[in-house]
Structure 1
Amino acid sequence: MKLIQSSKTHPQVKTLLAYATSEKKVEKEYSLYIACPERLLYGYTFEQDIVGCIGIVKREANQCEIKHIAVSPAYRGKGIGREMIRYVEEHHVFSSIYAETDQDAVIFYKNNGFHITSLGEKYPGVERFGCLLTYTT
């Protein structure tokens, strides 16, 4: 894993972010990672290729929000998403990690120890879920 800090969007990162957000928002989201010190974007590399990324925002009270997490389709199901979350856990001290997602990723977060709560239909016809992982001291 490596921190991505280049002001120019890497094509592989752009593709990965498009999986996690709309293609129209990729450049805007990427620029926020570069401009905001509380936002961090990490890339997961395999044989010189970036095949996964996780973007987080550090919040108050040592809380973290996963803004984006994506793995290239050819590498899905190999534990890369889990490894990226573990990397964040090991390299930062957070009291909790939060993510908001759709139905497609609920099982992924649940399998990684997150508590899942329905947020209802935030967009017409789309149920969203809050996923929270808390740490006890």
Structure 2
Amino acid sequence: MKEITSTAVHPTIKKLLSYVTLEEKVNEEYKKYTCLPSRKLYSIEVNGETVSCMGVEFLNSKEVSIKHIAVLPRERGKGIGSSMISFFCETYDIHSIFAETDKEAVNFYSKFGFQITSLGEKYPGVKRFCVNLKLNEAN
């Protein structure tokens, strides 16, 4: 994984972020990654092509919130999303990683070992979930 630091949003990153946030908010969200020291955006390339991105916010030195995680549809199911999460578990001395997500992503997080908590219908007709992974406190 490599950290994205460019102030100009690459078209592929813009496309990936549009899968996980409203298209009209993509530029605003991207700007947070380049301006806020607590936010970081990473990508993975396969054969020279960016196929995924993961944006996180470091809440403190031990807790990370996944803000965005996206994989090109043709690359899904190949372990790329899991490898991005593993990167944080192995690279940073964190005790907790969590995210708010939709029903479609619950199985992905559950397979990785995240605990799932329903937040109920947060928006009309839209159920949301909090997923949380507690890591070994001795990390």
Which TM-score band applies after superposition, normalised by the shorter structure?
over 0.9
CA distance in 1, matches of 2:119, 2:136: 24
* CA drift at 1:90: 1.5
Once residues 61 and 3 of structure 2 are traced to their aligned partners in structure 1, the CA distance between those partners, rounded to angstroms, is 23
Amino acid at match of 1:98: F
- 1:41 counterpart SS class: strand
Q: The residue matched to 1:93 in structure 2 has which SS? A: coil
1:115 aligns with 2:111: no
Q: Which residue of 1 aligns with 2:17?
A: 17
Structure-to-structure mapping, 1:122-133, within 5 angstroms: 122-133=122-133
> 1:61 offset after TM fit, Å?
5.3
Q: How much is the aligned-residue C-alpha RMSD, in angstroms?
A: 0.8
Question: What TM-score do you get using the length of structure 2 for normalisation?
Answer: 0.96
SS of 2:86's equivalent? helix
1:32-71 maps to which residues of 2 (within 5 A)?
32-60=32-60, 62-71=62-71
CA distance in 2, matches of 1:20, 1:126: 14
Aligned positions, number:
137
In the alignment, structure 2 segments of 5+ residues that lack a partner are none
Q: CA deviation at 1:105?
A: 0.3
Deviations 1:5-58 (A, max 9, x none): 000001110000001111111000000000001100000101111100000000
Percent identity of equivalent pairs: 48
Deviation (angstroms), 1:136 = 2.5
